[in-house]
Structure 1
Amino acid sequence: MSQPKKTITDVCVLVEDVERSIAFYTDVMGFRLRRKAEGFADFEAKNVILAAWELDHISRHTGVSNLRAPEGALKGCIAMNLDKPEDIDAMYADLSAKGVKFQGPPENYEWNARCAYFTDPDGMLWELYAWLEGGPDSWHETYQ
């Protein structure tokens, strides 16, 4: 029997305050709000839906834990692929001007990508990356 195709359609970040998340993802990150409900919002992104769901709301309705991670504890990373390395620097400058605190300035990394890292208001790690010349395959060739 063949395996069914597995497609990731949504990424949901669990947040403290959905209104704060809406402001961050629309005003700072530039996503378009797609849908909003009590304790929940989602945003349009290319090929995936980004959703924000308040911890207490999901816990109240589904029974999952609403235990918060201590500040600084990272539980996941959302990566955003930009077209070219210069786009990383431009987005870094734009987001920095809007008050986003990055882990450091953009850098070229050994996996052949230019990257910059920051956290959203709820501590979710974000990676902005663009492949350097040769793309992702040149990194794999180096490490085979």
Structure 2
Amino acid sequence: MKAQINLITIWTDNIDRMKEFYNEVLGFKIINDLGNYVEFENVGVRFAICMRDVMYAYTKEYKQKTLGQAFEMAFPCESIEDVDTTYENLIKKGALPIYGPKNMPWNQRTALFADPDGNIHEIFVSL
């Protein structure tokens, strides 16, 4: 095995709501929609969402609900203004506000929002 990520899949119980969010709110283009599995166009690592019940045949562990934040994706912005504007636009389109844009001690302007399943993601720019 190579120590390299090829695909990131978000497991969900509501694929329609998640597909709409990642497509219409975040702007990911759908390249493969099988109904219970949706893959989006992305440079580098492949990105998909999938119904949790697809994996039930393999192990009962997928029936367990996750507790708390399991992962975060971070999306780069072009400028400080881009972070602020993007955050406002994401919230207007339906992203859940978590933490508004702030300059952080690690030299980034950062804001946090959540998808419909509660997964928290970040937008940022280096200062």
TM-score, with normalisation over the residues of structure 2? 0.88
| Structure 2: runs of 5 or more not aligned | none
Map residues 1-144 of structure 1 onto 2, 5 A cutoff.
6-60=3-57, 62-63=58-59, 64-70=61-67, 73-132=68-127
Helix, strand or coil for the counterpart of 1:20? Answer: helix
How far is 1:103 from its partner? Answer: 1.2
| Structure 1: runs of 5 or more not aligned | 133-144
- Tell me the C-alpha RMSD between the 2 structures: 1.7
Residue type at the aligned position of 1:6: A
Rg larger for: 1
After TM superposition, what 4+ stretches of structure 1 lie above 4 angstroms from structure 2? Answer: none
TM-score, with normalisation over the residues of structure 1? 0.79
Q: Is the 8 A contact 1:13 1:124 kept in 2?
A: no
Supply the distance in 1 between the matched residues of 2:7 and 2:81 (Cα, whole angstroms): 28
How far is 1:5 from its partner? Answer: 5.3
Supply the distance in 2 between the matched residues of 1:15 and 1:57 (Cα, whole angstroms): 10
Q: Is the 8 A contact 2:96 2:116 kept in 1?
A: no
Percentage of identical aligned residues: 27
